Structure formats: C-alpha cells, structure tokens
Amino acid sequence: MSGKSGSVVIEFRDVGLYLGGKEITQNVEFNVRKGEFVCVIGASGCGKTTLLRLVSGLYQPTTGSVHVDGKKVDGPSRDVAIVFQDYSRALLPWRTAAGNVSLALEAIGMPRAERADRIHALLGKVGLAQHAAKYPSQLSGGMQQRLQIARSLAQGASILLMDEPFGALDAMTRQSLQDEVLELAADTGATVLFVTHDLEEALYLGDRVVALYSNPGRIARIVDIPLTRPRNQLSTREEPDFLHLRRELFGLMEEIHA
C-alpha cells in the first residue's frame, strides 16, 4: 500500500466525529507508516483539518478510534507537533522569534542554559538565525510560518501535523517552503501528515495522497505517489507520473466538488 515499509505510527480505525450535532467525519480508516509523508486533500469543509485535530488529541472521535504508536489517542502528546495555517495567531506576538521557539523548549523542560544553543540551531535550520530578536509582527508571512515550523521542531516530536501551512503564502515563498519541509522531514525522519487544498502541492510533497469527500468527510481515494526523491520543483512537476496523477486526481476532485 505504501512505498515505505516502516511500522505503522498513525492509525485511523473507522473514525467518525460529530460536532454540535453535525457529522463531520465518517468511516475514516487509513494508516500512516513511520517516516511517511502523507497528504490529505479535499474541498474546504471536508474535515481535513479535523483529521489532524483527531491525531493531535485536540478532538476525540465520536465513533472508532485514532492510535499513535499503537496507543489510543486520548489527549495531546509531546510526540505530536502541529503547525497551524494561521501562523500569525499561533505565535506569541509578545515574544521574539527566539522566545517563541523557547516556549516549546520550556514546555519539554529543557534547562535554561541549554536553550540558547538549541534555539540558535533551530532558527538556523529554517533560515531565521538573523531574525532571532524580531517580534512576529516584524516578520513576513513566510518567515512567521518558518518560525512556527522551528517551534514544532523544538518540541522534538517524531510526528508532524501540518494544517494547510502554506495556504496563505505567495507562490514563490510556498515553493521554497515546500522544499524546506521536504528536507527537514528527510533529515529528521519525521512522519508527516500534511493537509492542503492544493492538489499539485499534495502530489509534489507526498508519498501518498488521501482524497476526501465532503459533508461528511470520508475517504474518496488513497493514491500512492511513485515519484522519486529528492523532488525538484521543475523536473518533478514535468514527470509523466506527476502529470498523469494530476489529471487523475483533478478529475476526482471535480467529481467531489460536483
């Protein structure tokens, strides 16, 4: 089913969720393996983000269960980090870039003396070493999202949940961040569950793509992406497999929207 042969780290077992009497998610069942990069696509309101909240323990399923590392999720875990789409709301505006990364280190109880080096290394990883003393309001959107990624890395989690992280960014910034996230995922060996409404982004990043129907959110199709890594913004997007999958999924998405 998947290109990677690692053990299963995220399991959706026949998951259903009702919120305020409305059925959000229905019969969702799929697995994510260790180190795998899985993208979830679907129209807005199809419950993509809900799936991330279920894995992160911010929501509890009404029926079925979500398991991480074999254990049933019953609340947030430090081994699961989440990157929100609205970076400007997810960062602490009164803390500098360094201070925002520090929050995650403080949360895991790292002694003060060790934090400075770690913060510097993490900010360096996302290209923000020069901006450590700036407040989020002084950073561009792309930089704020990099900062949120650095904070999620600081948590030391092996599972990274990303909720349309580049949806609000311009095309150039989005492409460079896509490549940075692929690099970071490869470096850290993290398992990534990535939600997007951008079909091409899903194909470019993922090992697999999970497409969802709307109202309620349920799985329409799960597609393996056999494109070679490392991926390249130009050549990958020109590969016959890419174009073929794009056509296929595009058709599916039109069907979903209809």
Partner 1 sequence: MRRGFNFPGLAFLQGLVGLALFVWVWHLIVASGAVPRAFLPSPEATWNAFVRGVTIGDMREQLLGTVLRMINGWLLASLVGIALGSAIGISETLRNYLRPTLAFARALPASAVVPVAIALVGLTPGMVLGVIVFGSIWPTLLATVQGFAMVDPRLVEVSRALHLSRFDFIWKIGLPNAVPDIITGMRLSLTVALILAIVGEMLAGQEGLGKAILLAARMFRAPDLYAGIVLLGLVGLVSSYGLLLVERRVARWRR
CB of 154 to partner 1, least distance (A): 9
Contacts with partner 1 by CB under 8 A lie at 56, 58, 76-78, 80-82, 84, 86, 89-90, 92-95, 103-104, 106-107, 135-137, 155
Check the CA dihedral 91-93-96-97 and report its sign: positive
Q: Which is nearer to partner 1, 161 or 223 (CB)?
A: 161
Tell me whether residue 137 or residue 228 sits nearer to partner 1 (CB atom).
137
In the complex with partner 1, the residue whose CB is nearer, 69 or 239, is: 69
Closest contact distance (angstroms) between CB of 90 and partner 1 is 5
Structure tokens at 136: 């989020």
- By beta-carbon proximity to partner 1, the closer residue of 106 and 170 is 106
User: Least separation, in Å, of the C-beta of 170 and partner 1?
Assistant: 21
Closer residue to partner 1 (CB): 149 or 245: 149
Q: 120: part of which helix (H) or strand (E)?
A: helix 112-125
Residue 155 CB, nearest approach to partner 1 (Å): 7
Q: Compute the least distance from the CB of residue 233 to partner 1, in Å.
A: 30
Distance separating alpha carbons of residues 225 and 182, to the nearest angstrom = 15
Contacts 24+ apart (CB under 8 A), 203-206: 203/39, 203/227, 203/242, 203/245, 203/246, 203/249, 204/178, 204/231, 204/233, 204/236, 204/237, 204/242, 205/37, 205/39, 205/178, 205/181, 205/231, 206/37, 206/38, 206/39
